Amino acid sequence: MKVRNALLAGARGLWLAIFGLVASILLFVLTVLSICFIVLGIGLVTTPLAVRAVRAYADMRRGQAEAWAGVRIPTPYHRTRPAPRAGIVGHVEQCVALLKDKATWRDLQWLLMDMTIGTVIALLPATLLLYTVWGPVLALGVWKPIVRADGTFWFAFVPVSDQFTANLAAATGVGFGVLGIFVNRHLMRGHALLAQQLLRPTRERELALRVDHLTESRHDAVDSSAAELRRIERDLHDGAQARLVAMGMSLGTVEALIEKDPAQAKRLLAAARADSAEALTELRDLVRGIHPPVLAERGLGDAVRALALRMPLPVEVDVELAGRAEAPVESAAYFAVSEVLTNAAKHSGARRVWVDVHHADGSLRIAVTDNGRGGAPQPGAAGGAGVGVGDKNGGTGLLGIERRLGAFDGVLAVSSPAGGPTMVTMEIPCVLV
């Protein structure tokens, strides 16, 4: 495994050294020239394009740093900005905003660093592996024509002039290979950590992004609350209220008929009793939709188990909670799980679903996995509207869950390759009491 990881790190380092060097130089030169050409007017058009290209490339490298070295680098860019105005005024406003953004200049500093010291660090893993092969090849006789043509040949710090020094070079190359087995992964991690110093948000930007996120979450929470109130009002108006009005009218008719036609009055009383039972059932369903009694009385674990029993497909639930979270957190988690399970049952074609609920590192973590067809898009995909798990027709499934969790600073992640399985992971910071 260590040998495989060392070889993989060497290949990735070589890719970063070659492709990264070319891309960094190209983007750096184009961006600097675009900024310089602003005074000529050309830069007003090219600068936003160049900066967007740099940011896309930086985001790609952020993803590689996390996937290849386990180093997470948050993006410092604002996710939403007002649409620029048309015409020359809009171009000027865009350029001014980009030039005032510290992230633009930090990206340029990173490009400069990446094409210099970053390239050197990325080359080291590949160089160690190359010396591992080159040393023994020299010892097999390749050193002779090289020495005859140019005299003493230096293999790293070993001067090769005869068979003995060639054998010494081979031993040195093997030593480099052994060293690479142990340090190549650390070199790649060091490369990612070096990039992290300039690609991550500054403290001020982190606070600004945090404020933006909280503002967006607050708006989403307010919108969700308003939508929920409208739903409750509509359900009451169309359901229980209508039945209660009908029951009142029936009782008025019974009052008028009770002496004239007792048999008809008796039938109307029976119908009114049935209406009252249906109204009570609808009210109970409505209350359960607002806050299920089992959730309030027994907690999230038992509420999820009860939810699983009502699903039309087998659902295995594993809960490890040492206490209970606050009621709003439990409610958000419960309805998020309910939405995911409902969409899995409707759209994924799964035969079985697994739900894992546990608390670790100060967060409530929930994973819902199904063995369906997969292919569920990420939240916010498909034109900005999230969909439920396996839902090919669009909808508000995952986007609604993301907004619900966002009110508590929670996050949602979806892994759904074509052919399955699909895993929806939710995480909400909270404490258990």
CATH number, span 299-429: 3.30.565.10
More confidently predicted of 381 and 412: 412
pLDDT value at position 339?
84
More confidently predicted of 385 and 25: 25
pLDDT (tens digit, 9 = 90+) per residue, 51-102?
A: 999 999 999 999 899 889 888 888 888 654 555 566 677 778 888 888 888 8
Phi, psi of 63 (to 5 degrees): -65, -40
Domain boundaries, the chain: 2-199, 224-290, 299-429
CA distances 223 to 165, 226, 227, 307, 329, Å, are 76, 5, 6, 26, 18
Rg (CA), the chain: 33
Question: Terminal CA-to-CA distance of the chain, rounded, Å?
Answer: 43
Band of residue 159 on the pLDDT scale cut at 50, 70, 90? confident
pLDDT for 253 beyond 70? yes
Which sign does the torsion angle of CA 314, 231, 285, 268 carry?
negative
pLDDT (tens digit, 9 = 90+) per residue, 1-38?
A: 778 888 888 899 999 999 999 999 999 999 999 999 98
CA distance 201 to 215: 19
Our CA angle for 137, 138, 140, nearest 5°, is 65
In this structure, of 279-283, 326-330, 417-421, the range with the lowest mean pLDDT score is: 279-283
Q: Of 343, 328, 347, whose CA–CA distance to 407 is shortest?
A: 328
Is-above-0.85 flag for pTM? no
pLDDT for 355 beyond 90? yes
pLDDT (tens digit, 9 = 90+) per residue, 200-247?
A: 887 776 676 667 666 666 666 566 666 666 766 666 665 666 667 777
Q: Of 316, 315, 322, 282, whose CA–CA distance to 299 is shortest?
A: 322
pLDDT value at position 28?
95
Band of residue 134 on the pLDDT scale cut at 50, 70, 90? confident
pLDDT value at position 255?
78
Q: What is the mean pLDDT of the chain?
A: 80
pLDDT value at position 82?
52
In three-state secondary structure terms, 370 is strand
Dihedral angle over CA of 375, 377, 383, 385, nearest 10:
120
Band of residue 249 on the pLDDT scale cut at 50, 70, 90? confident
Contact 390, 339 (CB under 8 A): no
pLDDT (tens digit, 9 = 90+) per residue, 106-122?
A: 999 999 999 999 999 99
Phi, psi of 84 (to 5 degrees): -70, 150
pLDDT value at position 389?
43
pLDDT value at position 239?
61
CA distances 266 to 208, 238, 277, Å, are 69, 27, 17
Across the range 320-331, mean pLDDT stands at 87
Across the range 322-350, mean pLDDT stands at 85
